[in-house]
């Protein structure tokens, strides 16, 4: 059943209703009084996601792969490995793609989407009145868990890249640079589905997340937060601190579930695409694939 949550699809030049995995369950959890009790007592807890993760790692979970591909019409031609080779649903979930499946914009000053998903851009955080729903203000200090760092980026630019279970679940760097640090900020595991975000934007800074600092020679420090979510308690790294990465290189991947990558740039360092800004100013997310240009640097 399609959700009434819609995003802009540039390829189709239209608003598209989002197909939400486990929609009935999510609606019950976040809208029904009994569901809210379960959310508080069970769903947001790490043990619940760990339990579900083990189910998705079990050999019998492979029976879910073919129906999932069919229901969500995934393009198997992009898969590096054919579906029958996966030994669990989780292996399929964080699958790799063929090298040419996600071409990286090679324009020298281009900044690319770090992940597949639905993207919301905020050109100047200090001028952002609300996100996703009126009355919800963003708290950068709480998100970063570091007041001095938040003050440094309070006039910066941000892109929220929201991944759904149907998406490619590996995340990459939006520009070249060296990984300076990586910090775990512990928390709960609420869903980052739009139904949840419209009720409570604070899930971004209440959830478990990792903060990566990527140092770019021209832009300076670029922050990336990998936000965990219900059934996505695990973030797996394929890159190390101190490693130099090229634009579009992989950083890691999420285990089963929907999740989110938040990327923050220093003040006046980039200019987002005009179409992204126009849609985001109306609270509309835009679909984009990893490697596509989303902005240009000012340097």
Confidence at 198, pLDDT banded by 50, 70, 90: confident
Residue 236: domain span: 110-297
Q: Is 119 a catalytic residue?
A: no
| Confidence band for 56, pLDDT divided at 50, 70 and 90 | confident
User: Per-residue pLDDT for 12 more than 70?
Assistant: yes
Q: Establish if 274 belongs to a structural domain.
A: yes
Q: Once rounded to an integer, what is the mean pLDDT over residues 238-252?
A: 97
Q: Residue 110 catalytic? A: no
Quickly list DSSP for the chain: -EEEEEEEETTTTEEEEEEPTTHHHHHHHHHSHHHHHHIIIIITSHHHHHHHHHHHHSGGGGGGHHHHHHHHT--GGGBSS-GGG-SSHHHHHT--B-TTSSPPP--TTEEE-SSSEEEEEES-GGG---SSSTT----HHHHHT-HHHHHHTTT-EEEEEEE-TTS--EEE-SS-EEEEEEEEE--B----SHHHHTT-TTHHHHB-EEEEEEEETTTEEEEEEEE-BTTB--EEESS-TT-EE-TT-EEEEE-SS-EEEEEEE-TTSEEE-HHHHHHHTTT--EEE-TTSEEEEE--
Q: Beta 177-185 vs 209-216: how paired, if at all?
A: antiparallel
Distances (CA, A) of 40 to 53, 168, 294: 19, 29, 37
Q: How far apart, in whole angstroms, are the C-alpha atoms of residue 287 and residue 15?
A: 10
Of 82-86, 133-137, 248-252, the least confident? 133-137
pTM of the model: 0.87
- Asked whether residue 231 is domain-assigned, the answer is yes
**174 bridge partner residues:** none
Which residue has better confidence, 6 or 249? 249
The catalytic position among 49, 88, 110, 116 is 116
Q: State the chain's mean pLDDT as an integer.
A: 85
Between residues 130 and 81, the one the model is more confident about: 81
Reading the block at residue 282, the tokens are: 């109306």
At 229 the pLDDT is 64
- pLDDT bucket at 54, cuts 50 / 70 / 90: low
For residue 120, list its beta bridge partners.
Answer: 160
User: Is 116 known to be catalytic?
Assistant: yes
What is the model's pLDDT at position 18? 84
136 band by pLDDT with thresholds 50, 70 and 90 = confident
Rounded mean pLDDT, 113-129: 93
Q: Is 58 within the bounds of a domain?
A: no
Tokens of 97: 């793609």
Percentage of residues in the chain with pLDDT exceeding 70?
A: 81
What sign does the CA torsion over 71, 74, 80, 82 have? positive
Task: Exactly one of 61, 161, 172, 191 is catalytic; name it.
Answer: 172
CATH code of residue 198: 2.70.70
What local confidence, expressed as pLDDT, does residue 30 receive? 45
Overall number of domains in the chain:
1
pLDDT at 130 over 90: no
Binned at pLDDT 50, 70 and 90, residue 217 comes out as very high
Is pLDDT of 250 > 80?
yes
Q: In this predicted structure, what is the pLDDT of residue 206?
A: 80
Residue 139 in domain: yes
Quick count: other Cβ atoms within 10 Å of Cβ 85? 11
In a 13 Å sphere around the CA of 7, the CA atoms on its Cβ side amount to 23
- Residue 191: band (very low, low, confident or very high) from pLDDT cuts 50, 70, 90: low
Q: What is the mean pLDDT of residues 244-271?
A: 92
- Decide: 261 and 224 in contact? Cβ < 8 Å: yes
Sheet of strand 270-272: strand arrangement: 110-112, 293-297, 270-272
Contact 155, 126 (CB under 8 A): yes
Instruction: Examine residue 91 and state whether it is found in any structural domain, yes or no.
Output: no
Percent of the chain, pLDDT > 90? 62
Burial per residue of 228-239, b for 16 or more beta-carbon CB atoms within 10 angstroms, e otherwise = bbbbbbbbeeeb
Q: Residue 11: inside a domain, yes or no? A: no
Residue among 157, 161, 234, 259 flagged as catalytic: 259
Q: Which of 72-81, 212-221, 230-239 has the lowest mean pLDDT?
A: 230-239
* 102 in any annotated domain: no
pLDDT score at 48? 45
Q: Which residue has the higher pLDDT, 90 or 192?
A: 90
C-alpha to C-alpha distance for 220 and 222, rounded to whole angstroms: 6
Least confident of 59-73, 167-181, 226-240, 253-267: 226-240
pLDDT recorded at residue 85: 97
Residue 224 in any domain: the answer is yes
């Amino acid at each position: 059943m399609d959700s009434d949550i819609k995003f802009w699809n540039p390829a189709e030049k239209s608003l598209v209703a989002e197909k939400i995995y486990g929609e009935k369950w999510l609606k019950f959890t976040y809208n029904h009084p009994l569901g809210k009790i379960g959310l508080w007592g069970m769903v947001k807890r790490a043990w619940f996601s760990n339990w579900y993760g083990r189910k998705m790692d079990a050999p019998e979970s492979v029976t879910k792969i073919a129906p999932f591909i069919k229901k969500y019409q995934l393009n198997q031609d992009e898969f590096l490995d054919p579906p029958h080779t996966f030994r669990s649903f989780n292996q399929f979930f964080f699958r790799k793609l063929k090298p040419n499946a996600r071409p990286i914009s090679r324009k020298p000053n281009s900044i690319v989407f770090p992940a597949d998903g639905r993207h919301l851009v905020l050109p100047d955080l200090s001028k952002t009145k609300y996100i996703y729903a009126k009355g919800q203000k963003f708290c950068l200090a709480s998100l970063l868990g570091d007041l001095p760092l938040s003050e440094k980026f309070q006039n910066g630019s941000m892109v929220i890249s929201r991944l759904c279970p149907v998406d490619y679940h590996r995340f990459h760097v939006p520009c070249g640079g060296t990984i300076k640090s990586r910090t775990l900020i512990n928390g709960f595991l609420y869903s980052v589905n739009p139904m949840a975000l419209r009720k409570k934007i604070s899930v971004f800074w209440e959830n478990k997340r990792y903060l990566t600092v990527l140092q770019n020679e021209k832009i300076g420090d670029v922050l990336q937060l990998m936000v965990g979510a219900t059934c996505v308690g695990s973030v797996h790294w394929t890159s190390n601190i101190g490693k130099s990465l090229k634009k579009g290189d992989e950083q890691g991947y999420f285990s089963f579930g929907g999740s989110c990558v938040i990327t923050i740039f220093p003040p006046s360092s980039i200019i987002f695409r005009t179409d992204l800004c126009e849609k985001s100013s109306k609270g509309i997310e835009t679909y984009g694939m990893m490697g596509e240009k989303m902005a240009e640097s000012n340097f």
